[in-house]
Structure 1
Amino acid sequence: MGPFKDIGVEKSGRVALVEIRRPPHNFFDVALIQEVASALEALDDDIGCRAVVLASQGKSFCAGANFGDGSTLDDQGQRPGELNRAQAVQHLYLEGNRLFRTRKPIVAAIHGAAIGGGLGLAMVADFRVTCPEARFAANFTRLGFHPGFGLTVTLPAVIGATKAALMFYTSRRVTGEDAYAMGLADALVPQGEVRQAALMLASEMAENAPLALVSTRATMRGDLADRVRKATEHELAEQTRLRKTEDFKEGVKAMAERRIPDFTGR
């Protein structure tokens, strides 16, 4: 397995820990998602592994994509040197779909912010363990953008269509307590105990018959990976269209400047 540049993989008994190592905010790109997918696929083939914990170093779990400060975006919403952005994001989503096709249960240890595509990554997991200090946000509309990473499928499936729409339409940040209350997180513990609690939950699952565990998970998830793949095709088309707008540039700039954006609908 590996070698990996931006993740670490450790095993303890029948549980594997996959740790993202891009602190402080663990921004993702195609290379990182490829590494996580490759690790999960290798663990699928490891008969000694029955469950996985996905965790991160640093301040955030994953703050999504790094858009910069918006000052250099061209009329296509791209930074200098970015060619075929739509193709690049399509590649990212194809690699991301590999995550949804892995077979063993995953527990995400959310000790900090899971924002935008970082929330999408957290939703790959079957369960999420978090703390009061964590923040969850689908902040795409605040960027003048459309949700991505399959969130239009995964988020409503977990918290319901109305609560998901509320997160999308407001772009509000949800606290760890509120995430637990709405079912977005499955356990709420002190921040220093998030990873251990996730490992304990994974260990509880790993005590069970491995073939039955994988079979039951496959039944419960059904055609999720196919639905996410179809959703990302639509999400990408909308993102490509909205990336060319003035509102997207303003949204990115406002986020970098930590102010309320002044959108014009253009």
Structure 2
Amino acid sequence: MQYGDVNVTLENHVAVVTIQRPPYNFFDVALIENLADAFAAMDEDTECRALVLAADGKAFCAGANFSSGPSVLEQSDGKGRNPLYVAAVRLFSNKKPVVGAIHGAAIGGGLGLALVPDFRVTCPEASFAANFSKLGFHPGFGLTHTLPSIIGQQKAALMFYTGRRIKGDQAHEWGLADVLTSADQVRSEAVRLAQEIASCAPLAVMSVRATLRQGLTEMLTAVTDHEASEQDWQRLTEDFKEGVASVAERRPGEFKAR
């Protein structure tokens, strides 16, 4: 099954949902909507009991594709909501458990996408960063809720304020990843964990998952609305323009607080 740049295969009750925009898998609104459509279809497929979210190429997801134009950032759905984050909330609203296969970089909004799954499998070579402060930009994709809920407020603040990258082994130590394995085994280990989940009674698994995630959709709707409102004014600043340019040019940003 193909949903734009998203491929889905289903075997032994596990759907492997693969992002196919190598090498870096930059996202735009269309990609997140394609993922949300794939997740929704697997929610309706009774043969599917668990999902694996994976990606082809060098990175899991290196962040937003700013070259695709303002649609990545601007609110344009006519209701004051960012369509990117509407689609992101749809991803978090799926009913069935998800295991993330994070084999490479998960940066910025790509980190937000990596936190959609219930569990993450990674390798020492992978890297994780909330690099928004280096872009002159407020975090998005629900990260201001999801990241602290997984690794704690203090470690999340460190990642947000510094924009530093942490490698896969540190991510595992912090609880950001649940399984650490070799790079060539990330996807197979993710499938193995998904199959272990799929071997349990599916109605019971979905029921307890719904209990554990009660209120999450509503929370993330409010959080992403706030994140988008902060991003709206910050994307008009000189610092944001400098941040995007400096990251693209791989140099330190020269910020002026204006």
TM-score, normalised by the number of residues in structure 2: 0.95
Would you say the 8 A contact 2:134–2:243 is kept in 1?
A: yes
Matched residue of 1:65: which SS?
A: coil
The equivalent residue for 1:160 is 152
Report which structure shows greater RCO (CA 8 Å, sep ≥6).
1
Q: Does 1:223 align with 2:215?
A: yes
Q: Does 1:10 align with 2:2?
A: no
Deviations 1:68-120 (A, max 9, x none): 4xxxxxxxxx95x8699232670111011100110000000000000000000
Change (3 A) 1:49 1:227: same
Matched residue of 1:27: which SS?
A: coil
The equivalent residue for 2:59 is 60
Change (3 A) 1:65 1:207: same
Q: Which residue, 219, 222, 247 being the options, matches 1:255?
A: 247
The equivalent residue for 1:235 is 227
Could you tell me how far apart the structure 1 residues matched to 2:105 and 2:73 are?
29
Q: Give the RMSD, CA atoms, in angstroms.
A: 1.6
Change (3 A) 1:30 1:240: same
Q: Does 1:40 align with 2:39?
A: yes
Letter aligned with residue 106 of structure 1 = V
Structure 2 portions without partners, runs of 5+: none
Letter aligned with residue 181 of structure 2 = V
Q: Does 1:121 align with 2:113?
A: yes
Matched residue of 1:85: which SS?
A: coil
Matched residue of 1:9: which SS?
A: strand
Would you say the 8 A contact 2:51–2:98 is kept in 1?
A: yes
Letter aligned with residue 76 of structure 2 = Q
Could you tell me how far apart the structure 1 residues matched to 2:200 and 2:225 are?
37
| Aligned sequence identity (%) | 56
Could you tell me how far apart the structure 1 residues matched to 2:137 and 2:219 are?
21
TM-score, normalised by the number of residues in structure 1: 0.92
The number of residue pairs the alignment matches comes to 255
Change (3 A) 1:105 1:152: same
Could you tell me how far apart the structure 1 residues matched to 2:211 and 2:180 are?
27
